[in-house]
């Protein structure tokens, strides 16, 4: 396969400094992720196209071709990006042959509009090109989102070129990018990071070094306090401290994670080790103190901000869907840089929880923020946005999340496997066909509903080759057989380093490597035990003290009031033994958990009772409740929900 | 004393439907509240005047007298109110003879400006009167704050008329109020409640029934969804549900509490029992589920909103200083309505905690929001406001809180005592001279530092008369002597109802009544035991589960890192016995608490450790920490602070 062939198939390509590289030729063939992709094509994409038309995103472009254009519709200067993200998703759909004809018509219509609307000099942004509004390009770098717009345009363009071989958008994006290279040669940076990732990708696609250099400059220009805004302070924009000196992920969560993902892309091409050191430090700090159990990032509605270390309130988790996608993008690039499995553990946690929850079961409604708790008296808010509405909505005035979900669903296959010289790595377990550089595999599994994975070798090289299986952090006692024989993998070998050339030397274990001479038809069976787990939390995390969270495999579970008929979910008291004894059952495809818990209604209504030395024992009654995967909550109407339930340790003994 | 004389001295006057009435003739003569009043005059008022001049609040008026006025300074349409609140405070200062000459000059200058700037028709608002800005009065009732402006103008005007006998402002306010009565005869309501309280006060002062009727109408016009705003939803404005049907205090916290206080004023004059029933339900629900241990109201930075029941995060407590004042205003009016001591318990909790913390020890810096926790890595924010800055600031772009503190400090004496026929009630313990209608008292005490109160009777009526002493909810085993002899107050008598004519019949006990024939020189000594208390929290309150709060008397305590030399405050583990064994000490006048606690640093850095059935016991080391009154925190630089500390119940056993 030539380099050009690889590029024509890949969501991301061979990088200069990465320890591993993506496998462009994977295809998801069944299971949960396949269901998500089918739903994306059948429901979410048609819905999104309909909403984009209704909200005026398409008209914002087409009106610019008219003599006396109607005003720009919408409040935000970044509404073109919702088209771009949709186009990016459509490029995968069309390239993979999943899309129907109306989708291609929409794609062609919008691409055609963009070609015609683009200014002579390459500028393209329907908010600032508004002839009636007298706005000037680049007059408001802090809030104008023009480079953020360009970033999403580039990502759509690269996807179309690679997946469809359609280079029309790439020409549009390239002209705009060239204008930006000139305009921002010396100074200036966008209030909303995103273009950094895109410029590196455009460099990979075109080989034009100026794009990479500009991306690197954008990372390093932050921290000078040059981004001025009347409401938001410099930390909101990650402009209060140079990126390499940031003490922790901070400010607006989506901006932060896009910026870090872009910086990781810069590292992947430049090998700039001080940049990587900052990335590793920020990532580890985030995972150790700022991520929700669901993988969500962002604790504050106010400023949509990350929050302090250990500030992780359940009911007010902001955990924006876009931040979930950004964390996955960042984590994937950290994995490419190092081969470290720990990054994929987070990637997977986000994928199945903080990201997946953002979409309704029917694929036509969205969360903007993704709380881990809904209180029984939570008030419906009317009209407030973003994030005011507790249950999923069909669209938003700031609709950044829905098309982000669309593009990510469409490209999931890009994250199934990776390669390095002499080995194929399985990053994500799903029914799939994987066409590697030298080895092909067919994967069958019911993951994430169980942990049995069955791999069948197709094409294989003559010489010994490695198949490297990810062992998630939660999996204890993973076993593997090759052609029915137990594979001799000593525990120490299981934690072996996948990539010895990891630049930071930090990529931890989590891999199970099988190296041998493979023949077509060879079978590998991996068993990842999936007991139901109880998770506590760090003692500094006040919001979940005295509570436990339930998980199984990569899935976080929650209890909705509909599934706790005998007790309010706020009154459930669950012990570790209750969790260990949970019974798995099915609701459709999904595995649900039957838990026998205690119910301890409050003995009085006093808010802050005075404590005496002799505490009255709380008497519980035994009740049953069913816990469902968190990503499935909120599909049956607005009732109370909890991920974190009161733990028995705190609240007395269970009545026997 | 004639009615006019009473009015000339009173902050509030005899009401039509109240169970008790204020005592206008109290004067605070020493102790903590006196220190606060002295500091108000010596530091906060001069500082406030300086800031108001520097920020342009005065210039916003004076420029309107010029030919070609400079633009309005500031972003908000309510900056005149900061002058009005300051004038209200100055009226007390000047009326009580506490203010220096520059204060009177400022007062006269601003009053003179207001007289000259007021429009022909009575309209007065320097934001909308801006001739350059082409804004029209009443064009934006949702956000214009024009009636909110009028409300504060009236309150200043009534204070000046009553305390100083200066009726200049009253004429200005009356002309504006008359315009408003006409303009709002049929429809319309202000986005920010406040004018309701003021209109009732203006009715009391003038006897003009139209003011009362309009206030009542404003309460009842909410809930029609007529307040439209592009960002905030109807619940923010308490406009989603009619006031009488509100399920709970909700929306913007300050708006909510001002509205409720205004509705209580309407009840006090109309005796509208269905209105009172709503007020009582809302109050009880708030106290049972939505107030911080400090008495603060408002859990959310986003929308500065109240939040759901039991949503009370410590580190993100918004608990705006203005909301604290509004809750006191509401609580005082509920007390006037019923004679219920429970309202004063909350009043006092707010006064000494959520309100007092808003001002620095030196009286020149302010909190806008008042969190109950500061994390060690809490980031300083630059420029964000309101509420972004973690430690007190000298002023704000939205400076509603500082002058609100000023006016409230100045009028504290209004809340020391109350009367009903045949009895004088002591609401608040402080050194004071109280001139009642028929009985005068001198009060000496070190309260809140200890619970000994010494009353000496001055003027007394011939016939038997009641002295009714408040027994705070936290006080167990209160005793009283009269002229050295134990007073025969059976426990049941102590809980006796102070006001049998309480309209809701709900005012609970908390009063200790002594009725006898008094002679000048008679002495009453009340002893309120003040052990150090540990408070837990309702099981539905996630944010403080497994933690305890420490209080003594009306004061909530906290620990700052400066006073925990051997352990991070986040690692302190305190048991109920540790609290019971706390040693009281002094820091200046303040009583501080020495607590021997455990320190339990986190055993690992994992954020969500998997729990096993066998939990490792946590080993603590014994450490000492000093807890200080919460209102004093943050005067020694930005370090970590906690009100709620981890409790031993959750976190293992103390090492012996």
CA dihedral A535, A539, A540, A544 (to 10 degrees): 40
Q: Say yes or no: B478 and B584 in one domain.
A: no
Helices (H), B123-272: 146-159, 168-183, 195-206, 209-221, 253-270
Domain termination residue (choose one: A499, A527, A555): A527
The Cα–Cα gap between B194 and B256 comes to 10
Q: Say yes or no: A298 and A429 in one domain.
A: no
pLDDT bin (cut points 50, 70, 90) of residue A614 is confident
Q: What pLDDT is recorded for position B383? A: 41
Q: Please check whether residue B388 lies inside any domain of the structure.
A: yes
pLDDT of A435 higher than 90: yes
The Cα–Cα gap between B443 and B526 comes to 11
The Cα–Cα gap between A239 and A244 comes to 12
The Cα–Cα gap between B98 and B109 comes to 19
Are the C-beta atoms of A189 and A221 separated by less than 8 Å?
yes
Q: CB atoms < 10 A from the CB of A229, how many?
A: 17
Residue A653 sits at the chain B interface (C-beta within 8 Å): no
**B233, B608, B613 member nearest A381 (Cβ):** B233
Task: Report the first-to-last Cα separation within chain B, whole angstroms.
Answer: 67
Q: Please check whether residue B655 lies inside any domain of the structure.
A: no
Q: Which phi-psi region, left, alpha or beta, contains residue A175 (left: φ > 0; alpha: ψ -120 to 50)? A: alpha
The CATH number given to whatever domain includes residue B35 is: 1.50.10.20
Proportion of chain A above pLDDT 90, given as a percent: 84
Q: Say yes or no: A121 and A137 in one domain.
A: yes
The Cα–Cα gap between A216 and A266 comes to 6
The Cα–Cα gap between B409 and B403 comes to 10
Q: Taking CB atoms and an 8 Å cutoff, what residues of chain A touch B649?
A: 615, 650
Q: What pLDDT is recorded for position A555? A: 98
Backbone φ and ψ of B489, nearest 5°? -120, 100
Would the CB atoms of B602 and A232 count as touching at under 8 Å? no
Q: What pLDDT is recorded for position B603? A: 77
Residue B375 sits at the chain A interface (C-beta within 8 Å): yes
Q: CB atoms < 10 A from the CB of B371, how many?
A: 26
The shortest C-alpha distance from A88 to chain B (Å) reads 31
Q: Quote the Cα angle for B412-B325-B166, to 5°.
A: 55
Q: What pLDDT is recorded for position A207? A: 95
Q: Say yes or no: A317 and A278 in one domain.
A: yes
The CATH number given to whatever domain includes residue A427 is: 2.60.40
Q: Say yes or no: A405 and A427 in one domain.
A: no
Q: Say yes or no: A411 and A453 in one domain.
A: no
The Cα–Cα gap between A275 and A333 comes to 13
Q: What is the CA radius of gyration of chain A?
A: 25
Residue B231 sits at the chain A interface (C-beta within 8 Å): yes
Number of structural domains chain A divides into: 4
Continuous segment of H or E residues that includes residue A646: strand A644-647
pLDDT of A372 higher than 60: yes
Q: Say yes or no: B489 and B579 in one domain.
A: no
Query: Between the CA of residue A111 and those of A54, A107, A172, A571, B82, what are the distances in Å?
Result: 18, 6, 9, 54, 55
Q: What pLDDT is recorded for position B500? A: 37
Q: Say yes or no: A17 and A125 in one domain.
A: yes
pLDDT bin (cut points 50, 70, 90) of residue A383 is very low
Would the CB atoms of A608 and B313 count as touching at under 8 Å? no
Residue B557's SS3 state is strand
Residue of B nearest to A234 (CA): B382
Q: Say yes or no: B401 and B339 in one domain.
A: yes
Q: Please check whether residue B626 lies inside any domain of the structure.
A: yes
The Cα–Cα gap between B388 and B369 comes to 8
Would the CB atoms of A570 and B540 count as touching at under 8 Å? yes
The shortest C-alpha distance from B574 to chain A (Å) reads 12
Residue A545 sits at the chain B interface (C-beta within 8 Å): yes
Domain termination residue (choose one: B527, B560, B594): B527
Residues of chain B falling short of pLDDT 70: 1-13, 380-390, 488-509, 615-617, 649-656
Q: Taking CB atoms and an 8 Å cutoff, what residues of chain A touch B301?
A: 300-302
Residue B146 sits at the chain A interface (C-beta within 8 Å): no
The shortest C-alpha distance from B487 to chain A (Å) reads 28
Q: Please check whether residue B571 lies inside any domain of the structure.
A: yes
Nearest Cα neighbor of B392 from B339, B356, B428 is B356
Q: Taking CB atoms and an 8 Å cutoff, what residues of chain B touch A248?
A: 377
Q: Please check whether residue A364 lies inside any domain of the structure.
A: no
Are the C-beta atoms of B326 and B258 separated by less than 8 Å?
yes
The Cα–Cα gap between A366 and A383 comes to 15
Which residue reads 């405070």 in tokens? Answer: B89
Interface of B with A in 412-471 (CB under 8 A): none
Nearest Cα neighbor of A443 from A454, A451, A452 is A454
pLDDT bin (cut points 50, 70, 90) of residue A269 is very high
Residue A453's SS3 state is strand
Q: Please check whether residue B476 lies inside any domain of the structure.
A: yes
Q: Average model confidence (pLDDT) for chain A? A: 91
Residue of A nearest to B231 (CA): A384
Q: Please check whether residue A238 lies inside any domain of the structure.
A: no
pLDDT of A209 higher than 80: yes
Q: What pLDDT is recorded for position B230? A: 87
The Cα–Cα gap between B358 and B345 comes to 19
Name the residue range of residue B259's domain.
3-375+382-415
pLDDT digits (tens, 9 = 90+) for A149-179: 999 999 999 999 999 999 999 999 999 999 9
Q: Say yes or no: A196 and A271 in one domain.
A: no
Q: What pLDDT is recorded for position A10? A: 43
Would the CB atoms of A540 and B570 count as touching at under 8 Å? yes
pLDDT of A7 higher than 60: no
Token pair of B416 as six digits: 């020391």
Q: Say yes or no: A424 and A406 in one domain.
A: no
Would the CB atoms of A546 and B300 count as touching at under 8 Å? no
pLDDT of A239 higher than 60: yes
Q: What pLDDT is recorded for position B613? A: 84
Would the CB atoms of B611 and A234 count as touching at under 8 Å? no
Q: What pLDDT is recorded for position A532? A: 98
Q: Say yes or no: B423 and B411 in one domain.
A: no
Lowest pLDDT segment from A131-135, A239-243, A416-420: A131-135
The shortest C-alpha distance from B609 to chain A (Å) reads 5
Nearest Cα neighbor of B480 from B513, B507, B508 is B513
| Strand runs labelled E in B210-315 | none
Q: Please check whether residue A653 lies inside any domain of the structure.
A: no
> Which value does ipTM take for this structure?
0.92
Q: Secondary structure of chain A: what % helix, strand, coil (to 5)?
A: 40, 15, 45
The Cα–Cα gap between A226 and A142 comes to 9
């Amino acid at each position: 396969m030539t380099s050009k062939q690889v590029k024509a198939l890949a969501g991301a390509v061979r990088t200069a400094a990465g320890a591993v590289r993506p496998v462009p030729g994977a295809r998801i063939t069944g299971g949960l992720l396949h269901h998500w992709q089918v739903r994306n094509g059948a429901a979410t994409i048609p819905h999104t196209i309909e909403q984009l038309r209704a909200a005026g995103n398409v008209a914002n472009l087409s009106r610019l071709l008219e003599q006396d254009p109607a005003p720009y519709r919408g409040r935000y200067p970044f509404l073109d990006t919702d088209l771009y993200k949709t186009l990016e998703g459509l490029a995968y759909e069309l390239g993979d042959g999943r899309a129907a004809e109306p989708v291609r018509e929409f794609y062609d219509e919008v691409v055609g509009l963009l070609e015609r609307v683009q200014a002579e000099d390459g500028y393209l942004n329907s908010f600032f090109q508004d002839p009636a509004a007298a706005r000037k390009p680049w007059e408001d770098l802090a809030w104008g989102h023009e480079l953020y717009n360009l970033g999403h345009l580039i990502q759509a363009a690269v996807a179309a070129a690679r997946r469809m071989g359609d280079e029309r958008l790439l020409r549009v994006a390239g002209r705009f990018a060239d204008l930006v290279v000139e305009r921002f040669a010396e100074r200036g940076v966008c209030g909303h990071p995103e273009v950094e990732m895109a410029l590196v990708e455009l460099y990979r696609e075109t080989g034009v070094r100026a794009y990479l250099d500009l991306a690197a400059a954008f990372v390093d220009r932050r921290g000078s306090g040059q981004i001025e805004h009347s409401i938001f302070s410099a930390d909101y924009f990650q402009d209060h401290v140079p990126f390499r000196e940031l003490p922790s992920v901070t400010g607006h969560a989506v901006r932060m994670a896009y910026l870090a993902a872009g910086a990781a892309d810069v590292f992947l091409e430049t090998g700039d080790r001080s940049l990587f050191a900052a990335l590793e430090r920020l990532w580890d700090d985030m995972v150790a103190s700022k991520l929700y159990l669901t993988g969500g990032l962002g604790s504050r509605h106010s400023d949509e901000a990350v929050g302090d270390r250990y500030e992780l309130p359940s009911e007010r988790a902001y955990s924006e869907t876009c931040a979930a996608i950004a964390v996955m993008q960042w984590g994937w690039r950290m994995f490419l840089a190092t081969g470290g499995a720990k990054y994929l553990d987070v990637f997977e946690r986000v994928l199945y929880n903080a990201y997946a929850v953002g979409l309704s079961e029917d694929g036509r409604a969205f969360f903007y923020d993704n709380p881990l708790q809904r209180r029984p008296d939570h008030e419906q808010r009317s009209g407030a946005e973003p994030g005011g509405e507790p249950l999923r909505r069909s669209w938003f005035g700031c609709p950044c999340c829905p098309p982000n979900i669309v593009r990510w669903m469409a490209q999931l296959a890009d994250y199934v496997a990776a390669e390095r010289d002499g080995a194929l790595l399985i990053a994500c377990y799903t029914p799939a066909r994987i066409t590697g550089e030298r080895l092909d595999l067919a994967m069958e599994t019911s993951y994430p509903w169980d942990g049995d994975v069955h791999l069948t070798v197709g094409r294989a090289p003559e010489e010994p080759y490695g198949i490297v299986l990810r062992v998630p952090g939660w999996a204890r006692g993973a076993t593997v057989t090759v052609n029915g024989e137990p594979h001799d993998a000593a525990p120490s070998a299981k934690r072996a380093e996948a990539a010895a050339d990891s630049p930071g030397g930090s990529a931890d274990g989590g891999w199970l490597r099988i190296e041998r001479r493979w023949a077509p038809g060879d079978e590998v069976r991996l068993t990842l035990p999936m007991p139901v787990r109880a998770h506590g939390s760090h003692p500094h995390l006040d919001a979940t003290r005295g509570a436990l969270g339930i998980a199984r495999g990569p899935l976080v579970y929650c209890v909705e009031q509909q599934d706790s008929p005998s007790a309010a979910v706020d009154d459930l008291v669950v012990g570790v033994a209750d969790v260990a004894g949970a019974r798995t059952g099915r609701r459709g495809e999904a595995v649900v958990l039957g838990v026998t818990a205690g119910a301890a209604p409050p003995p009085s209504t006093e808010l802050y009772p005075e404590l005496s030395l002799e505490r009255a024992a709380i008497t519980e009654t035994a009740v049953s409740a069913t816990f469902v995967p968190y990503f499935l909550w909120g599909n049956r109407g607005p009732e109370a929900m909890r991920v974190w339930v009161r733990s028995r340790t705190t609240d007395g003994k269970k009545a026997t």
